[in-house]
Amino acid sequence: MSYVIEGASGPWELVIGLEVHAQVISRSKLFSGAATDFGAEPNTQVSFVDAAFPGMLPVINRACVAQAVRTGLGLRAHINLVSRFDRKNYFYADLPAGYQISQYEHPIVGAGVIEIELADGSTRQIGVTRLHLEQDAGKSLHDQDATKSYIDLNRAGVALMEIVSEPDLRTPEEAGAYLRKLRTILRYLGTCDGNMEEGSMRADVNVSVRRAGEPFRTRCEVKNVNSIRYVMHAIEAEARRQVAVWEDGGEVVQETRLYDPARGETRSLRSKEDAHDYRYFPDPDLLPLVLEEDWVAALKADLPELPDEKRARFVRDYGLPAYDSGVLVADQVTADFYETVAKGRDARLAANWVTGDFFAALNRTGTTIETSPVSSAALGGLLDLLADQTINGRIAKEVFEAMVETGESAAAIVEARGLRQVTDTGAIDAAVDAVLAAHPDKLAEFRSGKDKLFGFFVGQVMKAMAGKGNPALVNDALKQKLS
């Protein structure tokens, strides 16, 4: 946490808070029965409620409430049994009612916490201020016509969770780790798919800078940044801008800014003076949202194992290092894959294979766990051949590459290619003798004290045996002959 921006007048520390809008996974919208599928033809998933026709009324979707509560529980947050919906009033063409139904004063979820893991292996607890439910707006399409804008209301009324962090983050890396961890938790819970490219997870970033030990200075909000990488870039760009303003004797003014990834800079969208007066007031069409304690308890009992718990279990039960465990649990599919491979096998060896050769193969072939030619059972089969010494470690790598290429099982490849490990000491001794005989000069050097040549002889013997020699037996035989 030694990240600072070195200004001309000394170091500046960053203060960062994130507001994440996470689109709730639900079949229908927050207050209407219209569908929520991404990518449908414009204006095909719109009810009269979504289009704010006269006399239409919102009715809360219980499934969306359950998703918000489950997310709150996943953030180890306080669930408010009584919350309320307010209207946030402003005019815009893609906001049909002229107000957004949101939760202003009484959110459904209160304070919680997200533990982030950093590259150096350290962890930090980042406070979550609140989570509230609100409606998404529609989409304005400005590029369809020279003079007109088009409106797509498919997204209007879709449920969003706004998840607000405390200003606890201090570096771009921490902000990135926070978003990744939040996304992991949401995906584990199945409450948001976390796809920032599709806009189902969006981040607003609050940034300020200060001298060490100072109270907070004025912050700026950078709106709607659509990837984790851009969030990190935007924070740095905005912090540098603010440092320059302060050091030039100016004053940072509170405003809303946009990040331009092409130029790597932020620019002003609107100042505080132009800020909307949203005229919040409780939505009279909706009663306060009252949750039954038993219902919340039942949701809690049904939660899946979450990443933090899973990571702790991997450390405890499989004896894995914390960092490796973190890598494995970052994605539920990976964790499940790993556990299938590790079951009844050497758990640490399994972790090394999954995070090593297997991940490398996925990267190289551009596949995912779901589309990979090597299933967890197949990788397990390879590890079994290693464990019962049918093959050695070197051959295993060769077999694995063949598995990636052909999709065949390890056993079949070993059988077809005759890769079975040689443990016949007679054959090994013969190979050792042949190698020693072929390299009298090296043998002499060894005898005169050049111990390092032992490795050379091992390599030559393995080469002579086409890599199939049992490494321990080859070592033993060489030691014996050379002693």
Interface contacts to other proteins, rule CB under 8 A: 48, 51-60, 87, 89, 91-93, 96-99, 149, 151, 277, 279-281, 284-287
**Residue 141 carries which side chain, given as an amino acid letter?**
L
Count of residues in the chain = 483
Min dist. Cβ of residue 90 to other proteins (A): 9
Nearer to other proteins (CB atom), residue 55 or residue 455: 55
Nearer to other proteins (CB atom), residue 70 or residue 87: 87
Task: State the residue for tokens 């470690």.
Answer: 393
Nearer to other proteins (CB atom), residue 256 or residue 340: 256
With beta carbons less than 8 A apart as the criterion, state whether 468 and 395 touch. yes
Min dist. Cβ of residue 303 to other proteins (A): 28
With beta carbons less than 8 A apart as the criterion, state whether 24 and 64 touch. yes
CA distance 399 to 367: 19
CA distance 116 to 178: 6
Min dist. Cβ of residue 20 to other proteins (A): 26
CA distance 338 to 20: 30
Do the strands 139-141 and 150-152 form a parallel or antiparallel pair, or are they unpaired?
Answer: antiparallel
Q: How far apart are the first and last CA of the chain?
A: 55
Q: How far is CA 122 from CA 119, 326, 332, in A?
A: 7, 11, 22
Nearer to other proteins (CB atom), residue 151 or residue 158: 151
Provide φ and ψ at 426, rounded to 5°: -60, -50
CA distance 21 to 162: 5
Nearer to other proteins (CB atom), residue 284 or residue 449: 284
Min dist. Cβ of residue 290 to other proteins (A): 12
Nearer to other proteins (CB atom), residue 109 or residue 151: 151
Min dist. Cβ of residue 166 to other proteins (A): 24
Min dist. Cβ of residue 247 to other proteins (A): 33
Nearer to other proteins (CB atom), residue 286 or residue 296: 286
Nearer to other proteins (CB atom), residue 52 or residue 412: 52
Min dist. Cβ of residue 82 to other proteins (A): 15
Beta bridge partners of 201: 22
Min dist. Cβ of residue 332 to other proteins (A): 36
CA distance 64 to 191: 9
Largest Cα span, the chain: 100
- Of the candidates 373, 375, 401, 397, the one whose C-alpha atom is nearest the C-alpha of residue 385 is 397
Sequence-distant (≥ 6) Cβ neighbours of residue 382 within 8 angstroms: 353, 396, 399, 400, 403, 410
Nearer to other proteins (CB atom), residue 97 or residue 109: 97
Min dist. Cβ of residue 27 to other proteins (A): 18
Task: State the residue for tokens 């051949």.
Answer: 385
Q: Helix %, strand %, coil % for the chain, to 5? A: 40, 20, 40
Nearer to other proteins (CB atom), residue 151 or residue 431: 151
Min dist. Cβ of residue 62 to other proteins (A): 12
Task: State the residue for tokens 């090394």.
Answer: 352
Angle between helices 322-329 and 332-342 in degrees, nearest 10: 120
